[in-house]
Structure 1
């Protein structure tokens, strides 16, 4: 059996929280020795429901999943003996993952500045809610508060409100992945460049989900309103529909998909109807069209419609509940779930989706009991880095070349992550089939006005890349790509599973070209299995994962989160997969295929619900905006039109503070409300009191007042609000740039800082215009000036989009 990619690493986890645990899980499941440091008595998250009887007590099943394959030792951070013990652990560790609050770190004997002096070869990554600088640094937060501030709440839910809050655990996955990528990149280069320190914050990490909506808002100058459950974006139909049996997820975007959908439901006359043929027109006539579509979909089961959609290459999905998801043959055949053990207990949970075919990770495993490894001597270990990385070092992935065959959001954002860290990304499009994020409708001004160079969201997803065009339906186009692959370190595509094989560019063919290539494919359901040919957008992935079935209020339809969630989640997971593949390649010289399923990438986002189903045999009712542990919790109306603030009371002391803020001593002195259980029994009355106060206060003032009282709270922002967010402005998140065809505009930054910097990396390259780097890249792979000119004259390359060739290969990326 091959050694796992990270088996040479020793990692120490300090602090608590799901983001830390998930980042550590990525290291542990791929072979690193991860030592979790807990306080005596255990991490408080060991008590989070659902809990299992592990022999001698009950313990959190979700905690066990997050911490499988790790070791546990106990130490008190405020005790000299505990500090010494931790220092011994760090003495030969490669990496410290630290989730203590920035203020606590600065004041600690184990401060990062001191560790950089005493242990310069130790890489460090700090994880926090808001980073180490800026006005939000000391704010208290939860998943719901963080996502409210990130513009991911206000657009979700019924038009009249309140906006719908997410379930806990999702922000942790995003933040954990976001931390893992630069951390592993820094370790990748540590032998030559030294050990790096990164500070990652969950707020900016979560903004990666909002990037598309922010770009839409900046382009339009405003944000679309909240228009109802499962109604979002500018497309239609997009949402969940009841059928004869089960729920069907529908996402129709392009004109061709609309024609195919109408034909599928037996109403072909709707397709060319001029009232509905354009995307925006369908959006305007949504209520009218829904009155036609909904009764028709009730004639067949969700599975019937889904299978018809597969044949017609339509982006449809079954929307399962947790029991259905755990039983799905496709998931079972691909090994999407595996056993977690803690003590005498065992249950099933999602497996990390980075499916490395040559060096697969551990499919979950055993979680340690608290302090299980106290007194256990660790094996001798020698870290590779012997110094700290200097400020003049190149970015950690400098010298790595990745061929980007992706389109849309998920794939391009994945490769962008590595471009941000210094990799040379060569994006391959064709003049006949540009990236569809340049525009999905080639009619009207698309060609004459070159609108494909002007879409805001394309700029966001494709910074720090070079761009070329190659018509891969031609032998010369494929020959040029072959030369490019021969000298590359990795290649990634997110086409549907059958597209590249039809061009003679399947995985085996690419491995024959370059055996050391890391090849990442990322169709919706992976490259294997009966649903491998399914088409999908980010919304399709969310639907197929089952997440809508646990979001929102009990009795509502399965509720979408209105952010094409699957795209950024798939992109982050693909970036992590690339880094794992490159690390293995660095150690062994070997390439491999990574078979990523974007639907499986979504499963950690709802791990707690999957685990609850596995442990208890059922999933509890949806709670809407209420929280299973914290009372009160919700999104409450503020003064003004459609203004909201999210607040979460996490302790009895915070309840007393909230009562003072609301000037309600009667509630504070009511003994029945002194505990969370007591407040839950009277939650309706409490929420009335909270609404009575919040409705008299502006949302910004409500947030500041609550935070000053040490209560987690955040304004429910619109995406367009984020360009003026005081914290993001203070920390340099927005970078002003000027690009041909676009003019001046803002681009978001990475969600981490290197060293102790207050500002992120500067953006080195703007998104390429179509074919911008044809000449320089083709010269680099050995083509002569005459050969390049000939390719241009015959339309194999170019810098202007052209009409699609009839009968040409359909390169539908997602």
Structure 2
């Protein structure tokens, strides 16, 4: 991201249908699937499954034979070597449908997902089993909720729509009683919150980072023998498990404790931390916390008012709950891949793992609401949040359009179905662009006059939509000799929506907006040096926010937490270590 620009100098680049060195989106018999051609402990089994399947289809897999998939690194291969590996996989996918490939994935834990359209999402058995959709105004395609919430007595909140959208101004205005609190107003909003975090990757850590920024104490339980896979990414000889800039970016201000959850005493310490905490967030696979006896059902017998959130790809229930995957698969399952790209080409993204970034926003909001409910009532709550469901919930208008009108709109490039022109256009300089959107006839008139276009030739939105290609070609001829920032400011002064397309360097060097909001927080981290952490995109009145400390080293606070938070002596901590309880 932009915070890494001072260190790497990388401005970012478009990847198309690839992620890193390899293709992420693959054509199949009736559509597309998402599959990452990457090795490592969490993915090596994929290649055994695919080799067996390709053998059944009599596909030549000579380029796959004898490879160490645990250490496979596509970035270390030549383009020719990579093409040789991709060729049999492309042939295999082309023989099979999205449904058949996903059935294989669910049955074998293959990390592959179909690029679902609205029809596939609405007909899916996993969402149906979790009552994700409800009926409203003649459609059964309304996403009812983005998470399942239940209390200590069992049962969830249900998925019935409370009613149609309200008429503007009809009321009533909701009223909630003030929250009784003894916290002085000068304290940071979450200064008294104690949050315990289990898991790895991005979804859980991003959610808990919201609370860190507003003063919460977050203890992250980790392992040296089974480290967070983000710590393993980009590992170097010099810095080992502290090398990963992505892990570093997601975990500032937290406390790292290393416990051995395969050790009885280690589990007992985890339970004590759970009792110490006001809330718990975890993003393991569904069975992991049950295996350790740290799941919600087990823990509420000891702590009935427990507030806990679990987030994984498909949620804790349903026929596909144990299907493994990351945000790349989540983006395919919930529709983002299907919608992103050009209509005559393959889906191309969006870049990265969108549900890993999207779901933490929902998770943080749900956890905050549950904590405020607990403060009012003393009642605990369990939140079961599926990444795929937060993605589909965000695309509710698209799903409803299909459910009501049968319209399964697909990729439009940069165009918009309700306005024109709407797109991204070249500007002067290397790979410089401007995004422009006209939302009214007046916008169009101002733009046409500035760009020397005949505004009378397209007097209505319908005319502009019908001839979008010609308008875009003319507009591109005008913009390609313009400075993106100067042109954007000129258009903004005319009331036309326009912004330069920024890269990571532009964002970091933005001395006007981001600097004024103190977006970057520079902190010195032991071993790896200074890092520019990025704050979240909101500011609260009377609270500056930010991070007081950098991302912790692995296990950096183990002794401190056990002694200060749990009250153990240094000698007792030493015994725990000797007994293998501290990983």
TM-score normalized with structure 1 length: 0.65
CA displacement, residues 722-770 of structure 1 (integer Å, 9 cap, x when unaligned) = 111232122211122111122122111132222278xx42312321111
1:328 corresponds, among 85, 104, 124, to 124
1:484 corresponds, among 256, 273, 278, to 273
Aligned residue in 2 for 1:575: 364
Aligned residue in 1 for 2:545: 761
Cα distance between partner residues in 1 of 2:78 and 2:272: 45
Aligned residue in 2 for 1:704: 489
SS in 2 for 1:261: helix
Aligned residue in 1 for 2:93: 297
Cα distance between partner residues in 2 of 1:723 and 1:634: 24
Aligned residue in 2 for 1:240: 25
Cα distance between partner residues in 2 of 1:581 and 1:362: 18
Correspondences of 1:113-262 after superposition (within 5 Å): 213-214=1-2, 217=5, 219-227=7-15, 229-232=16-19, 234=20, 236-237=22-23, 239-262=24-47
2:142 corresponds, among 331, 340, 349, to 349
Taking a change above 3 Å as real, the CA distance of residues 253 and 429 of structure 1, as seen in their structure-2 partners, is farther
Cα distance between partner residues in 2 of 1:385 and 1:495: 33
Contact 2:3-2:520 at 8 Å conserved across structures: no
Correspondences of 1:684-703 after superposition (within 5 Å): 684-703=469-488
CA displacement, residues 32-63 of structure 1 (integer Å, 9 cap, x when unaligned) = xxxxxxxxxxxxxxxxxxxxxxxxxxxxxxxx
Cα distance between partner residues in 1 of 2:367 and 2:528: 31
Q: Does residue 525 of structure 2 align to residue 739 of structure 1? A: yes
CA displacement, residues 496-519 of structure 1 (integer Å, 9 cap, x when unaligned) = 112222333333222233221112
Contact 2:129-2:319 at 8 Å conserved across structures: no
Correspondences of 1:392-411 after superposition (within 5 Å): 393-411=186-204
Taking a change above 3 Å as real, the CA distance of residues 766 and 367 of structure 1, as seen in their structure-2 partners, is same
CA displacement, residues 528-569 of structure 1 (integer Å, 9 cap, x when unaligned) = 111111112121111111222122222322331103111111
SS in 1 for 2:95: coil
SS in 2 for 1:338: strand
Cα distance between partner residues in 2 of 1:589 and 1:272: 59
1:370 corresponds, among 156, 167, 191, to 167
Aligned residue in 2 for 1:663: 452
Aligned residue in 2 for 1:6: none
Contact 2:130-2:318 at 8 Å conserved across structures: yes
Aligned residue in 2 for 1:11: none
Aligned residue in 2 for 1:469: 258
Aligned residue in 2 for 1:89: none
Cα distance between partner residues in 1 of 2:274 and 2:68: 45
Aligned residue in 1 for 2:418: 629
SS in 2 for 1:453: coil
Aligned residue in 2 for 1:435: 228
Aligned residue in 1 for 2:560: 776
Contact 1:438-1:455 at 8 Å conserved across structures: yes
Correspondences of 1:446-461 after superposition (within 5 Å): 449-461=238-250
Aligned residue in 1 for 2:67: 273
> Aligned-pair distance for 1:642?
1.9
TM-score normalized with structure 2 length: 0.90
Taking a change above 3 Å as real, the CA distance of residues 371 and 696 of structure 1, as seen in their structure-2 partners, is closer
Cα distance between partner residues in 1 of 2:275 and 2:127: 34
Correspondences of 1:22-61 after superposition (within 5 Å): none
Cα distance between partner residues in 2 of 1:385 and 1:493: 27
Cα distance between partner residues in 1 of 2:62 and 2:330: 27
- Which runs of 5 or more residues in structure 2 are unaligned? 52-60
Contact 1:517-1:591 at 8 Å conserved across structures: yes
Cα distance between partner residues in 1 of 2:366 and 2:125: 24
Q: Does residue 332 of structure 2 align to residue 543 of structure 1? A: yes
> Aligned-pair distance for 1:257?
4.7
Cα distance between partner residues in 2 of 1:659 and 1:295: 48
Q: Does residue 315 of structure 2 align to residue 315 of structure 1? A: no
SS in 1 for 2:277: coil
Taking a change above 3 Å as real, the CA distance of residues 692 and 751 of structure 1, as seen in their structure-2 partners, is same
Taking a change above 3 Å as real, the CA distance of residues 286 and 546 of structure 1, as seen in their structure-2 partners, is farther
Taking a change above 3 Å as real, the CA distance of residues 778 and 249 of structure 1, as seen in their structure-2 partners, is same
> Aligned-pair distance for 1:367?
2.6
Cα distance between partner residues in 2 of 1:556 and 1:745: 39
Cα distance between partner residues in 1 of 2:148 and 2:78: 38
> Aligned-pair distance for 1:784?
2.8
> Aligned-pair distance for 1:469?
0.5
Cα distance between partner residues in 2 of 1:583 and 1:606: 28
> Aligned-pair distance for 1:295?
0.5
> Aligned-pair distance for 1:370?
3.0
Taking a change above 3 Å as real, the CA distance of residues 244 and 656 of structure 1, as seen in their structure-2 partners, is closer
SS in 2 for 1:563: coil
Q: Does residue 348 of structure 2 align to residue 559 of structure 1? A: yes
Taking a change above 3 Å as real, the CA distance of residues 649 and 431 of structure 1, as seen in their structure-2 partners, is same
Question: Paired residues, what number?
Answer: 566
Cα distance between partner residues in 2 of 1:219 and 1:471: 34
Aligned residue in 1 for 2:498: 713
Cα distance between partner residues in 2 of 1:278 and 1:287: 14
> Aligned-pair distance for 1:621?
4.7
Taking a change above 3 Å as real, the CA distance of residues 712 and 568 of structure 1, as seen in their structure-2 partners, is same
Contact 2:283-2:310 at 8 Å conserved across structures: yes
Q: Does residue 222 of structure 2 align to residue 424 of structure 1? A: no
CA displacement, residues 153-201 of structure 1 (integer Å, 9 cap, x when unaligned) = xxxxxxxxxxxxxxxxxxxxxxxxxxxxxxxxxxxxxxxxxxxxxxxxx
Cα distance between partner residues in 1 of 2:287 and 2:92: 30
Contact 1:454-1:741 at 8 Å conserved across structures: no
Aligned residue in 2 for 1:647: 436
Correspondences of 1:499-538 after superposition (within 5 Å): 499-538=288-327
- Which runs of 5 or more residues in structure 1 are unaligned? 1-212, 799-814
Cα distance between partner residues in 1 of 2:91 and 2:36: 18
Contact 2:213-2:535 at 8 Å conserved across structures: no
Aligned residue in 1 for 2:54: none
